[in-house]
């Protein structure tokens, strides 16, 4: 799920002090290294900027993103939190921290952050999708469906959204309903093997064996290694 919003240094900073100008240069250099996937070097620049300008929330935000790319999740969370202490309405820090909590399976904290994002901006559709997926992880499938549906109202061409909602409907034995969503996901992104695989499982539950076997074959053709075993078991 993890949709970390990466940093792009596009804002203007009004500065008067020599040290602040150096901090701005360091942030710019750090972002350039981040774009080049030189995350450790970027962290060095962001850390130096923080020493010069420790009250700049963006410096902590950028460094958190770099830590996240390196899967140093605890450090990333600490920096997102520091950013939010300096700017409680820094919506991208809230969103990214929520995703980082999801990564370390602290799902309730992730839900809290995604909810706060939506309190700040009710059109932030990725927060609906990600909160929905977090509800799914905690077994709250109806809440997952509700959130993903809200996300799809705002972003109706999101193939993963239909796929994720289909999975939640499947867990509630809504095989016909899940079939509709799997099919829509496939229409939008026809090269995803897991879409075909999961639609096949729904079809088998609906006793649509022929269709299920066709979808398993398609999944196999697209590289799904598990589909091969299912084909042997259900389609021969």
Q: Where are the domains of the chain?
A: 1-104, 157-236
The answer to whether the 1-104 and 157-236 domains have the same CATH topology is yes
Q: Up-side HSE of residue 18: CA atoms within 13 Å toward CB?
A: 0
Give which of 58, 72, 68 is closest to 26, Cα–Cα: 58
Residue with tokens 């792009």: 8
The domain defined by 1-104 carries CATH number 3.40.50.1580: no
**DSSP category for residue 171:** H
Model confidence at 18: pLDDT above 70: no
**Phi, psi angle pair for 153, to nearest 5°:** -65, -35
Question: Tens digit of pLDDT for each residue in 195-221?
Answer: 999 999 999 999 999 999 999 999 999
Beta strands in 59-196 (DSSP E): none
For residue 7, what are its two tokens?
């940093």
| Overall average pLDDT of the 187-197 stretch | 98
Burial zone of 232 (CB within 10 Å; 0-12 exposed, 13-18 middle, 19+ buried) = exposed
* Domain with residues 157-236, CATH architecture: Alpha Horseshoe (1.25)
d(CA 177, CA 22): 57
Q: Which residues contact 146 (CB under 8 A, 6 or more apart)?
A: 132
In this structure, what token pair is assigned to residue 139?
A: 């077994």
Dihedral pair phi/psi, residue 106, rounded to 5° = -95, 75
21-76 residue pLDDT tens: 699 999 999 999 999 999 999 999 999 999 999 999 999 999 999 999 999 999 99
Question: Residue 165 has which token pair?
Answer: 């909602």
């Amino acid at each position: 799920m993890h949709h970390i919003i990466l940093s792009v240094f596009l804002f203007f900073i009004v500065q008067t002090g020599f040290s602040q100008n150096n901090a701005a240069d360091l942030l710019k250099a750090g972002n350039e290294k981040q774009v080049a996937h030189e995350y450790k070097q970027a962290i060095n620049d962001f850390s130096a900027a923080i020493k010069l300008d420790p009250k700049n929330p963006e410096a902590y935000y950028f460094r958190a993103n770099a830590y996240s790319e390196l899967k140093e999740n605890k450090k990333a969370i600490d920096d997102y939190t520091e950013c939010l202490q300096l700017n409680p309405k820094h919506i991208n820090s809230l969103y990214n921290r929520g995703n980082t909590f999801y990564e370390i399976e602290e799902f309730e904290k992730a839900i809290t952050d995604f909810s706060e994002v939506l309190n700040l901006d009710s059109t932030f559709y990725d927060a609906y999708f990600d909160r929905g997926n977090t509800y799914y992880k905690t077994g709250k499938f109806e809440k997952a469906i509700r959130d993903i549906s809200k996300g799809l109202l705002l972003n109706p061409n999101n193939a993963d959204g239909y796929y994720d909602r289909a999975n939640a409907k499947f867990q509630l034995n809504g095989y016909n309903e899940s079939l509709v969503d799997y099919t829509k996901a496939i229409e939008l992104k026809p090269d995803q093997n897991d879409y075909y695989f999961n639609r096949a499982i729904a079809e088998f539950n609906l006793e649509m064996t022929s269709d299920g076997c066709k979808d398993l074959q398609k999944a196999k053709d697209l590289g799904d290694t598990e589909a091969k075993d299912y084909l042997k078991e259900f389609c021969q």
